[in-house]
A = this chain, B = another copy of it.
């Protein structure tokens, strides 16, 4: 792509996050050349809204754009789209830049960077510590891992998507930080749920209790974002309980590799796992962990 001009952009994975990132980039003058999603409906909708082509294959995505943003769900999806054989983003990828936004195991980013290099392309991770509204408004909190030179090449585009942009270090390091952020966030979320659940069991006024929490050592960001939702059982999905479980397990797997035992993170992961086992991991936001802690709610009846 020519210096100073805006690169043509494509998206792989246009669920709620990817779709809103695409709309944001379109708004600020980027051409969304192609979109691809395993759910054809998602792709069709975003193609309509942004004027992008629906790419029939991954290699067609790469052919259509200078920069490909990927927002897929997990390690396996990342390995699939960057496969060494078959339909792959790496086909004809020489000179292209991949910006990988999924929260996945840090080593997957290291491996994808290596495969991209082998194909003459560049890959960085852009880990997002924010949600859908921020994607739409271009105010994401972005942490970048990978080669500094690649970051510099796409910095203008990343700035158009973010309110805070931070280069962390080599491939995998931004994903490590992201896993830690979500591990701690999940602990605070599950802990808050237990506090409110016990408050309810004691007959305390939960609005009062949240107010006291906010003014004391119990205060946290999740109290602000999830406390009222827990009280009102408003678990509309922004960040699903299943995603929370996945991210806690990424962190726990890093801990195991490092020979560290993290019992509070472990107990938290088991709570989110239980929501999955109850069949409600995808349909509840992470605030839904409160369903396990409130005596009056159905999920808690199935507690061990």
Binding site for B on A (CB under 8 A): 129-130, 141, 143, 164, 166, 168, 173, 176-177, 180-185, 187-188, 190-192, 194-195, 197-199, 201-202, 204, 208-209, 212-213, 215-222, 225, 251, 254-255, 258-268, 270-271, 293, 295, 300, 303-304
Contact = CB atoms under 8 A, between A and B. Distances in A.
22 contacts: A129-B212, A129-B216, A177-B204, A180-B199, A180-B209, A181-B195, A183-B195, A183-B198, A185-B218, A187-B195, A188-B188, A188-B218, A191-B265, A191-B268, A198-B254, A198-B258, A201-B258, A201-B259, A202-B258, A216-B221, A217-B225, A260-B293
B220 A143 contact: no
Given A184-B191, A190-B264, A191-B187, A202 B176 contact: yes
Given A173-B204, A181-B216, A194-B183, A263 B254 contact: no
Contact of A185 (B201, B208, B216, B225): B216
Contacts of A191: 183-184, 187-188, 191, 264-265, 268
B221 A218 contact: yes
Contacts of A304: 261
A194 to B, nearest CB: 4
